Structure 1
Amino acid sequence: MKSIRKIASMAVLGAATFAYAGTALAQTELDFWSWRQEDVKAYNEIIAAFEEQNPDIKVTFTAHEATSYNTILTTALAGGAGPDIMHTRSYGSLEAIAAPGYLEPLDGQIDLSALSADELLGTTLRADGHVYAVPFASQTIVVFYNKDLFEEHDVALPETWDEFLAASQKFKDAGVIPLANGLADAWTMEIMSGAFLPNFYGKDFFGEVTSGATDFEDERFVNALEKFSTLKEFMPQGYEGVDYATMKQLFNVGQAAMFVGGSFDIPTFVNAGVNFDIMPGPAAEAGGPRMVATWLDGGYGVNAASENKEAALKFIQFTATQPFAQMLTDKLANVPAVDGAEISDPMLAKVSAMHEEATPYIMLVAFRFNTPTGSTLLQNGLQELFTGKKSAEEVAADISEGIKSAE
């Protein structure tokens, strides 16, 4: 009898142990979509830290091609599918998926106290005032420069527009491409314009054009376009066909002295081993401000149709914390939106310091809510300007008319 009881007891214990093990191993699986293909390794490391504290949740990070990401994501969400959690873009791009009800409102469900009102503005739907994503980082437009080439050719770092043109001419005369940037990818022209236009149209223009006190045919904006267009003399031969990948390669291998891009490009050049540094765009004149254009890059949102909403919200709460912000800056060289992270990377600290003279990245922040977007109008206009198809006045008129007619 003892033997039978012992065997029965062991069987019960074994069943209980198996049941417990099954419970311990059960995981809620979350899909996380993004456009950040270059950040897969870092995000997997960040996710691993979350999973260590939350062993009942498994997060799979999938990075799609950046330019097609919005279409892929919107198509999936419209079909009632898509990921549980997702990288969202900000401002108008966020509204495109928040307004139809594809995103879960986060205010009241997530502690957003470590984020500023300005940052939350980029992930807030104007129609209802709710926050639909946790902001993740700001981006800043800077001028990257090759320190070795500047030293080799004895070129002083330019502070003013005239000095920038003189430095570019000196490189060109020496057979070095002054600016790696090209026209093929229209969005990179908008990025490039963010380093130069603000210092010509000035600090007050953004507020005036967004309030309706002026428009893009304003003399300040036309003048800024005219000045900017002169840089085509210092871009690569055949610049009309130079795309983003080629620009970066020209800078990586030392064929180009400068590259205008976003702070998001820093890891690319670090990983390539380029001896580079960064500076803001040049002042319009001596003693003038050297403003940098900044914007909220995007956020982390939850699919309103997710069957795993509780676990998804738990991950999103993690993205609104200081430990997450610290990993974001340490692993991805971003200036995090969440307060409390210490920026130890000297290059990133420089970017953060430049924010003392910051201005909004104008079209993304204020004019990407309707169709045609301000970005589309500016990008198309800059391509026409730099290829000589239209004058600065014509481009400015097209932008102004397009924005006024946008729906």
Structure 2
Amino acid sequence: MKRLNVILSVLMLVCVLLPIAAQGTKASVGEVTLTMGSWRTDDVEQMNRLLAEYKKVAPTVTIKFQPTNPPDYNATLRLQLDSNTGPDLMYARSYAAGQELFKAGYFADCTDIPGLMQNFTASNLAPWQMEDGKMFAVPFAAVSHAVYYNKDILKKEGLSVPQSWEDFLSLLKTLKSRGYTPLANGLADEWDILETFFLGLLPNYIGGADQRVRYESGELKINDAAFVAAYQAMADAAPYCPNGFESVTYNDSQVLFASQKAVMFVDGSWTAEVYKDAPFDWGLFAIPAPRGKQTAICFHPDMAITMNRATTHPDEAKAFLTWLCTREGATKASQNLPVGYFPMINFPITLEDVHANEFLALNTGKQTDARFVWPALMDLYAPMNQAVIKVMKGQLTAKQAADSVAAVF
């Protein structure tokens, strides 16, 4: 009997303690901290503002933005994921680079995130979609490419925005003859002359996505007349770049334009905020197509956010991605994205910055496409980059440049 009383006492104690233990467990997981990886080191302030907005929606969740130096992001993220130390949430590259990490089992399947398949167009989903239709990220932002120009100088010289590539070359020639450096672009960092200039003008010569896929399949050849003409355009622009442009870095180019030492700069929309306090009036125009062709825009799907398949907080990570798929989340994101990054969700969103709207207006009535090599031909990035550099240095003809890339296709 005594033994029975002891057992009953123990059972009663357990019954009392279990709810307390459960409450303790609930409290310990009530406050959750997630980490977010990114290659956008310039966006710490903006992303912290956005994540603070999300905390108003999810008070128990803190998301820490932990970006990596952009050139190191891919390698660093892969190392983290391989060692099971990857962030809970992370920026996902579009197309092949992102697909590879999904295939490796690192990116979670995002297909069933509420609102994802309903609130984005098929074309905006495609860069982060597998062949079987599965989504590996939530589209976050796109960027555009155009020509920045000093309105004050053109007005002073009685010059106007060119309507064709031939007009553009004529404008460059006139500016140079009057003592100006027409273009700020250089070659030292290599990536920018390919991504912003060559891939920015390429749709003017080969067409949009419908033509790109024909090159990807091999139906059209990447050393055809259209490609040769695009390389020739780069060769024709080279004499109007700064003296010693081979040694001019991307940052140098920004400084040259900002200090009015160069009249124009072919670049991406992400640079727009750099010139927000510039002491002169500046604007944008689309890289013009040659006469007889339609001007097209390289509007590139740049960033998406995904979750780590191995995160210990899948519900909280998924809830954040779900928020990004809502009108509220997309609006907050657009308000806190850096100038020159454009939301991809299928809701009407008003941007406050004048130049951001000017960039978007360039898309009106024009074909748009991603950077040519991103969807399926990233193996051609390096050889194409070198071909552009060599043709601008005069080391290859346009035909030789096109043939050099075709040789490794």
**Length-normalised TM-score, structure 2:** 0.87
Matches within 5 A, 1:28-43: 28-43=32-47
- The residue that corresponds to 1:322 in the other structure is 327
- 1: CA distance between counterparts of 2:67 and 2:181? 33
Q: CA RMSD in A?
A: 2.1
Do residues 140 (structure 1) and 144 (structure 2) align?
Answer: yes
- The residue that corresponds to 2:204 in the other structure is 199
Counterpart pick for 2:77 among 44, 63, 73:
73
- The residue that corresponds to 1:164 in the other structure is 168
- The residue that corresponds to 1:340 in the other structure is 347
Counterpart pick for 1:353 among 336, 361, 369:
361
- The residue that corresponds to 2:155 in the other structure is 151
Q: Which residue identity lines up with residue 388 of structure 2 in the other structure?
A: L
- The residue that corresponds to 1:3 in the other structure is none
Tell whether the 8 Å contact from 2:92 to 2:305 is kept in structure 1 after alignment.
yes
Tell whether the 8 Å contact from 1:84 to 1:312 is kept in structure 2 after alignment.
yes
Deviations 1:46-92 (A, max 9, x none): 10010011111011011211111111111111111110000111111
Tell whether the 8 Å contact from 1:377 to 1:398 is kept in structure 2 after alignment.
yes
Counterpart pick for 2:133 among 92, 110, 129:
129
- 1: CA distance between counterparts of 2:335 and 2:175? 35
Tell whether the 8 Å contact from 1:295 to 1:365 is kept in structure 2 after alignment.
no
Tell whether the 8 Å contact from 2:199 to 2:298 is kept in structure 1 after alignment.
yes
Change (3 A) 1:218 1:111: same
- The residue that corresponds to 1:90 in the other structure is 94
Deviations 1:218-237 (A, max 9, x none): 11111221122111100011
Tell whether the 8 Å contact from 2:99 to 2:136 is kept in structure 1 after alignment.
no
Q: Using the aligned pairs only, state the percent identity.
A: 25
Q: CA deviation at 1:143?
A: 0.7
Counterpart pick for 1:118 among 118, 123, 144:
123
- 2: CA distance between counterparts of 1:57 and 1:42? 18
Matches within 5 A, 1:56-71: 56-71=60-75
Counterpart pick for 2:243 among 237, 241, 249:
237
- The residue that corresponds to 1:209 in the other structure is 215
Do residues 378 (structure 1) and 384 (structure 2) align?
Answer: yes
Counterpart pick for 1:270 among 263, 269, 276:
276
- 2: CA distance between counterparts of 1:95 and 1:110? 21
- The residue that corresponds to 1:387 in the other structure is 393
Deviations 1:124-174 (A, max 9, x none): 133x43101001122111111111221222221111122111211222122
- 2: CA distance between counterparts of 1:214 and 1:55? 54
- 2: CA distance between counterparts of 1:374 and 1:354? 28
SS in 2 for 1:163: helix
Counterpart pick for 2:408 among 387, 402, 405:
402
Q: CA deviation at 1:108?
A: 1.5
**Length-normalised TM-score, structure 1:** 0.88
More divergent stretch after superposition (376-385 vs 358-367) = 358-367
Matches within 5 A, 1:221-300: 221-272=227-278, 275-285=281-291, 288-300=293-305
Q: CA deviation at 1:402?
A: 1.6
Q: CA deviation at 1:202?
A: 3.9
- 2: CA distance between counterparts of 1:76 and 1:24? 26
Q: CA deviation at 1:185?
A: 1.7
- The residue that corresponds to 1:109 in the other structure is 113
Q: Which runs of 5+ in 2 are unaligned?
A: 1-19
Change (3 A) 1:205 1:117: closer
- 2: CA distance between counterparts of 1:152 and 1:178? 14
- 2: CA distance between counterparts of 1:158 and 1:143? 11
